[in-house]
Structure 1
């Protein structure tokens, strides 16, 4: 029997695994910079697993960006992909491409105890949509629907909505950033690079000289108790609350909110003590909509890969 392969491809790393018995096996992480194409990286992975060319029947790859047509260009690395050429090169029967946050959404269906932390208490309504939102290299937003034993993930570009403003301080931050770059999307602030931009804006408004240049430096300073870095983390968390709350109202997402991505897990305790929950529910006459909507911070390592496996499993079952 031929193997099934799943992959989760980001800007820096590509994660691959075999999908067997409805679970991941032989997970391996490869640097995208070391390979000229996804086919070359996959062949290297399969060689490590002792699988010859033609030994894989079906492949599902989670990729960043809109998936449409036969050609796909990765938005955050140098790779390109053509479905037909890909299948011919690897002698595979089928290639399923999945938006990365659709895969991430499907991965939420496979969370295990210890892979998430409660941020806001509540009871998920399984008949309603769930929101998946994640600050990382960018800001990903996805929607998960439970359709009677079948999961559907809706792709979108929700990270590029306008950054919401809730008070005078936030308006001043927005105005400062807008003066530098023009349109201010949610991703402009709610991402790794956005954390630096937010820090620079706050320093400028406070008349202070920026001391830190990377997200890691800002996070480290905040964890060490530096007041301005702490203020940046607090404001970042509040902006995330506003964006997440807007999405909950738009989607009717009483199925809960899953916060994913690589940024928040670097300062979990600060985030849990932040004003996220207050800003999340700060919706005027609709603030009463939010009590009971659960929010979780996800710390699972391979949710995108698992989601690719869930998607492939569902396709093969129909």
Structure 2
């Protein structure tokens, strides 16, 4: 749609989508469920979310943005939005007015991620292990990143419906002796140890620290990326053990999601961490721990597990949500 400005110049009426994590915010324009003009910004560089969205708008002076959908890493069930792993906090109503929008929906980032799953092509995901997805079966997705996001998707007569939640904050459930030692190690730091304390970037670092402590080895890595790099190169035995245990714990968590929701449509792993080491994941204890469900091993064995390889799946999901819900 075009409008005529007072100057006589034409302006395009636009819609935008955003994918907001604890570290980065990605923004794009949306048209008929498709995204374009993708830009990435560091959250720490902006005092407020309104500031960075307006900076994005300013890059497209010929577009008048009137609607948007934001997927963000925190609960979104009230007008007040406060991020879990970043300092941004805002009112949805105030942000709508501040951006001069007619319509704005703020959804949990994993609601957005879950909405992307039905539109992913085979070249945008990588299957780990066996299993065949039911095209209309329940789906679950989780993603280690700055935190641990979890989402669910069910098929209804009127289309796909995302079930929001905060599954990354469930209690960590140890399975083997190493898990139990890690739990003991972390209980000295935290009153409560959630799954996110292990399945996140900082979680990988804490697993490494715990395993080093168990083996009486001084730690040499200060960042999760160092642990991953040393594990993949084989330069550090403790790092290899840490990354394998990270994968094993992911497998147990994925299997629990499969049991909770009866996810015959599959379990997906999102986020920016796991897609970096898919070959390692395939050789790790991930799938063995996923299947280690006792009498329900056969139940989960037919449910496929995937790693999402499409980097902009959060934006795709926000676009799918916007397309399905915005009627303006």
Aligning the two structures, in what range does the TM-score lie when normalised by the shorter sequence?
Answer: over 0.9
Shift of the 174–35 alpha-carbon distance from structure 1 to 2, 3 Å rule, reads closer
Q: Which residue does the alignment assign to 1:6?
A: 17
CA distance in 2, matches of 1:173, 1:22: 43
Q: Which residue does the alignment assign to 1:301?
A: 311
Q: List 4+ stretches of structure 1 deviating above 6 A.
A: none
The counterpart of 1:188, out of the listed 188, 197, 218, is 197
Q: Which residue does the alignment assign to 1:64?
A: 73
The counterpart of 1:156, out of the listed 159, 165, 175, is 165
Q: Deviations over 1:57-107 (max 9, x none)?
A: 211111111112222122333322222222222221111011001101111
CA distance in 1, matches of 2:79, 2:170: 28
The counterpart of 1:129, out of the listed 131, 138, 157, is 138
CA distance in 2, matches of 1:173, 1:46: 46
Stretches of structure 2 that go unaligned for 5 or more consecutive residues are: 2-12
> Would you say the 8 A contact 1:129–1:145 is kept in 2?
yes
Shift of the 101–31 alpha-carbon distance from structure 1 to 2, 3 Å rule, reads same
> Would you say the 8 A contact 1:60–1:98 is kept in 2?
yes
**What does 1:202-241 correspond to in 2, within 5 Å?**
202-225=211-234, 226-241=236-251
Q: Deviations over 1:139-182 (max 9, x none)?
A: 11110112235111111111111222222232222222223323
**Offset, 1:317:** 5.0
Moved more, 4-13 or 231-240: 4-13
Does 2:278 align with 1:268? yes
CA distance in 1, matches of 2:178, 2:40: 42
TM-score by length of 1: 0.94
CA distance in 1, matches of 2:31, 2:69: 13
> Would you say the 8 A contact 1:138–1:190 is kept in 2?
yes
CA distance in 2, matches of 1:180, 1:79: 26
> Would you say the 8 A contact 1:123–1:293 is kept in 2?
yes
CA distance in 1, matches of 2:277, 2:78: 39
**Offset, 1:212:** 1.3
Q: Which residue does the alignment assign to 1:291?
A: 301
Does 2:48 align with 1:37? yes
Does 2:40 align with 1:20? no
**Offset, 1:33:** 2.7
**Offset, 1:40:** 2.2
> Would you say the 8 A contact 1:126–1:146 is kept in 2?
no
Moved more, 233-242 or 164-173: 164-173
Q: Which residue does the alignment assign to 1:176?
A: 185
Question: Aligned-residue CA RMSD in angstroms?
Answer: 1.7
Q: Which residue does the alignment assign to 2:207?
A: 198
SS in 1 for 2:107: strand
CA distance in 2, matches of 1:37, 1:210: 36
Q: Deviations over 1:245-271 (max 9, x none)?
A: 111111111110111112212222111
Stretches of structure 1 that go unaligned for 5 or more consecutive residues are: none
> Would you say the 8 A contact 2:268–2:306 is kept in 1?
yes
